[in-house]
Amino acid sequence: MKLSKFSTILLGGLLLLGALPLAQAEDKKVDPSGTYIWTMPGRNGGADRTNTLVLKLDGEKLTGKVSSPGRDGAVNSTEIADGKLAGSEVSFTVVRAFNGNTMTNKYTGTVSAEAIKGKFLFTRNGDEQSRDWEAKLQK
């Protein structure tokens, strides 16, 4: 089947217009900067623990801190380490020290307009474990 010159130009124009929104969508970079909140069940049946995550994207570097409830109403605030953003995927590490011990949580997740949803890894009694987490963006 042979296309006329007009049909070829029209078809090429339609293909170009169809690809334009895709190119614009790829240009939009995800920015996870903001304040996020999530709740975890308390230890040994205790009250739920509400955590706050503040993230800031500076170029390719992801920085921030996690705050969580401590003993006697104190708030523990810890800087994140190794923060990264790859497409819509974030990852970072939180290292906490207490009583001469350290505990490392490795967080990964997918950023959407409303939340970050993913998993975090930690070691308990020598076994690596993971849990789901979903932090909602505060507006």
Domains in the chain: ranges and CATH:
34-137 (2.40.128.120)
Phi, psi of 47 (to 5 degrees): -65, 150
Label residue 115 left, alpha or beta by phi (over 0 means left) and psi (-120 to 50 means alpha). beta
pLDDT at 47: 83
User: Model's pTM, two decimal places?
Assistant: 0.75
- Looking at residue 8, its pLDDT comes to 57
Give the chain's residues under pLDDT 50. Answer: 20, 22-25
Output the pLDDT for position 28.
66
